[in-house]
Structure 1
Amino acid sequence: MLRTRYAFRTFGAALLGRLSYGMVSLSLVLAIKETTDSYAVAGAIMALFGLTSVLLSPVRAGLVDRYGPRRALLPMAAAYALLLTGLACVTAWPGASGTLLGILAVPAGACTPPLGPVMRTLWSDLVPDRLLLQRAYSLDTVAEELLFVTGPLLVGLLVQVAAPSVGVAVSAALILIGSLALSSSPAVRGWAGQERFPAAPTSSEGLVSGVRPSPLRQWLLHSDPGLRQAITVSAAVGMCLGAFDLLVIAFADEHENPSPVAWVLAALSGGSAIGGLVYGAVSWRASSRLRLAFLAAALGLPLAAMGLSPHPYMLIAWAAIGGLFVAPALTTAYLIADECAGPASRTRAGAWVNTAFNAGSAGATAAIGLLLGRLPLPVCFALAAAPVVLSAATVLHQSCRPTLNTAAPIEHDAGLTS
């Protein structure tokens, strides 16, 4: 698959830019803490940065769909890099104003370039064969997870020889260089934006009392049900993993044995990498929606069982088993999004899956933090697993339900098999 024309160059450029995402959060937290000497200020600014980045991701992806990477991605990357450079300069000196840091952080989050969704859209152009696309998405998901592991490690090495603000500046350089290299790839030359495709006719069903719904709401309401299912499962997987870290720490504290925590998290990441690579290499007969339901359930059930473990070291085995299904579940969600979206909205569809995952992760982390100490730990594990299991049941029910309309769904279902 990597021998496909322009694939290696384009993928390498995207990974270089996405390494910035693995480094920027820790670098920015350390830099803000050092200059303000306040964890509260650092937490508040990072929350603003993360919220604007996550919530506006579909909007930024829609701009790329409409205008193409060279006209939309490059200005975003330039603005993002400039604002990160400003944050690096401000945090290089002690006593920086929290207000000034917030003024820089909010627009920086709003300008975060959607390199992941753009790369997944390019994959569907580079490798039109569905089996190769499955492998490409699997590799992409595994590589992205590894970047979020190696990024903090690089920051840890960097702060041994330089100030944390240097890590912020390096993140700015990585995103700018990666975006420039990606946009200059021959793979994006034919991507001229939405004007290549005829506008879809507007259905009169979306009009109430003569008022036209917003384009975003209209797109979500009239999108394929499979896309909404992929977004729902992605959010549930994010909730599952967002709660996982705190639950593991709480379990270790309850048993007064914190040493296995790092091994549990490593087992989850290692299992996800192995599962993603194996999943991409297999030619599946079942439809994408049935696979998504199975993978989501297979991820949630081990998490629920963790709460009943007699010893923290048992969590390592459960985490490795559950991790086998993390990357495959996300890969399948991205595949469904690509299959269901029209040619002019594929980047936005992938961004919605990504946004749902990040939003679910953040929300579950906050929610489980409130529940810990108020409910027994096994109940907290079960509650964390419930969304992903319920989403699997919903997808399975929708996939098995007979379809009354025999026109469009028949043609669409044919594209769901690998």
Structure 2
Amino acid sequence: MRLPGYAGLLLAVCVGRLASGLIPFGLLAVFVQTNSFMSAGVVSVCFMLASSFSAPWRGRLIDQHSAHRMLPRLALAASVTAVAGFAVLHAGGSSLLGAALVCVGALFSPANGAVLRSIWSSVAPDESHRKALHALDSVLEESVYVLSPLLVGSLWFTVGPDWAILAGSSATVLGTGLLFWFARRAGDQVWAQLMRQSPPKGGKRGHGPMSAVVFTVPGLSLAVPMFGFAMAVGAGSITFAAWSAQFHVASLAGLLAGLGSLGGVVGGFLYGKAAVSDAKAAKLYLWMPAFVGLSMAPLMFSSALWVAMAVALCSGLVMTPMFIAAYVRVPASFPQAHFNEANASIGAAYNLGSGTGSLVAGALVEHCGLLPAFLVAVAMPLGATALSWLLSRRHESACSLAAAPGTAAP
């Protein structure tokens, strides 16, 4: 990070990432403050779906047309629509219309983080440096997510949670501008990554969802565990809010979310320092979602604040290691022409899983109560871990058969 501009690149992306915490959590809080937990779950999943399904498309556009061309356009579209949503919500208009506009903004969110991940994968001289860069990036990312729910909580107490949407929109524009400013200072190698474009061969590469790299074998091996992990995180955002409202105050959910991200910072620091082999990292990546689910179980039987704080902190410990393990595997799994799309697809799997968990938990809290919601929040990542393990075993068996002497390759 002593190279000119590199620390600035991290700062720029961290500013932009504030939007990823402020906008969805602020939108969620708008409905939670009126005890509309089902509506909160529906809005949350709509936001996550918009962000998730468009992420590979946005990454592909950046790969094909360059970050230099696409990021400013995406940032402008995302901020304008989100500000329009804030205006509707703040003026007391239709909450559904305001939420819809914010969700439309998520369709165009600039993939600044994915671009920076691609830069690290391209400029790192070797695997150890690549891991260190991704680890530092992930720790800082979680640090931002420690801050953003606390900011939302502060705004919630003072002027209202809808102001978090406006603050997030401003962070989107500022972060994108800073990314280009510091990329210039970082030198020609970094600037070349922003200018790089990889037109589809023959001009015929598909643009539909099924042409995304996430549907390839390496893509699924990254997406399924991340999806299961994110389901627990999304369910936790609703169940923690409902638990806080039932036993304490609803805005306490911001503190619990911040503690989860703090756990991610600690876990990322420890993981970055540990000498974890590729084989162990692959196994940990499969089992970390189960750890998150099990760590949430104690809250089903307690109303004590210290238990909730311990659960939030422990459940966040594997957040950053999950992302480090995923992003480090991208250069070994995909060609450089697809780095941005692959990195964006990892985030898409997380967002989709988080939205699904929020929707399921919101429906259960609304119609069945808090305990069934916690039970499902524990069960979903366990099921995803089991599925990931079975898929991994089948893939390993197929590879072994294909590599066996006298066995024809499929």
- TM-score of the two chains, using structure 1 as the length reference: 0.76
Could you tell me how far 1:99 is from its partner in structure 2?
A: 7.5
The one-character-per-residue Cα deviations of 1:278-304 (angstroms, maximum 9, x if unpaired) are 101223224342332243444444445
1:50-89 equivalences under 5 Å are: 50-89=48-87
**Cα shift readout 1:108-158 (whole Å, capped 9, x = no counterpart):** 222111122122112212324222222222232232233233223334445
Measured in 2, the distance between the counterparts of 1:263 and 1:98 equals 25
Kindly indicate whether residue 389 of structure 2 is the aligned counterpart of residue 387 of structure 1.
Answer: no
Where do residues 120-139 of structure 1 align in structure 2 (5 Å cutoff)? 120-139=117-136
Task: Give the Cα–Cα distance (whole angstroms) in 1 for the partners of residues 385 and 235 of structure 2.
Answer: 15
Cα offset for 1:244?
2.7
TM-score (norm 2): 0.77
Counterpart residue identity of residue 142, structure 2: E
1:69 Cα deviation from its structure 2 partner: 0.9
Distance of 1:326 and 1:311 partners within structure 2 = 24
Asked whether the 8 Å contact 1:293–1:395 carries over to 2, the reply is no
Residues 230 and 333, structure 1, Cα contact 8 Å, conserved in 2: yes
Q: Which position in structure 2 is the counterpart of 1:242?
A: 234
How far is the alpha carbon of 1:62 from its aligned partner?
Answer: 1.1
What's the counterpart of residue 9 of structure 2? 10
Greater relative CO (CA pairs within 8 A, separation 6+) = 2
Q: How many equivalent residue pairs?
A: 391
Distance in 2 (CA, whole Å) between partners of 1:267 and 1:38 is 23
CA RMSD of aligned residues (A): 4.2
* Per-residue deviation, 1:7: 1.9
The answer (yes or no) to whether the contact 2:146–2:259 under 8 Å persists in 1 is: no
Residue of structure 2 equivalent to 1:171: 168
How far did residue 105 of structure 1 move? 3.4
Partner residue in 1 for 2:275: 283
Q: For 2:130 and 2:277, how far apart are their aligned partners in 1?
A: 15
**Partner Cα distance (2:255, 2:35) in 1:** 30
Matched residue SS, 1:284 = coil
User: What are the Cα deviations for residues 135-185 of structure 1, in whole angstroms up to 9, with x where unaligned?
Assistant: 222232232233233223334445777676655443333211211221341
1:346 and 2:339 equivalent?
Answer: yes
Q: Which residue number in structure 2 is paired with residue 143 of structure 1? A: 140
Question: Whole-Å Cα distance in 1 between the matches of residues 259 and 162 of structure 2?
Answer: 31
2:407 is matched with: none
Shift of 1:63: 0.7
What is residue 119 of structure 1 aligned with on the other side? Answer: 116
Q: 1:389 to 1:310 in 2, by over 3 A?
A: farther
Question: Which residues of 2 match residues 201-280 of structure 1 at below 5 A?
Answer: 216-220=209-213, 223=216, 225-247=217-239, 267-280=259-272
SS of the residue corresponding to residue 58 of structure 1 reads helix
Q: Distance in 1 between matches of 2:298 and 2:346?
A: 27
8 Å Cα contact 1:22/1:149 also seen in 2 = no
Report the equivalent of 1:154. 151
TM-aligned CA distance change 1:398 to 1:333, over 3 Å: farther
How far did 1:273 drift?
A: 1.6
Residues in 2 aligned to 1:83 and 1:251: alpha-carbon distance in whole angstroms: 32
Separation of aligned partners in 2, 1:175 and 1:312: 34
Distance 1:106 1:135, change over 3 A: same
| Aligned AA (2:195) | A
Distance 1:282 1:9 in 2: 26
Of 121-130 and 385-394, deviating more is 385-394
- TM-superposed deviation, 1:318: 5.2
Unaligned runs of 5+ in 1: 203-211, 408-418
- CA deviations 1:189-221 (Å, max 9, x no partner) are 34434337x83999xxxxxxxxx9766424448
SS in 2 for 1:194: coil
Show CA shifts across 1:57-91 (max 9, x none). Answer: 11111111111111111111122223334344555
Alpha-carbon distance between aligned partners in 1 of 2:259 and 2:316, rounded to the nearest angstrom: 7
Structure 1 counterpart SS, 2:23? helix
1:194 equivalenced with 2:182 (yes/no): no
CA distance in 2, matches of 1:27, 1:257: 20
Task: Report if aligned partners of 1:304, 1:384 keep a CA contact under 8 Å in 2.
Answer: no
Return the letter of the residue paired with 1:387.
G
Which one has the bigger helix percentage?
A: 2
Percentage of matched positions with identical amino acids: 21
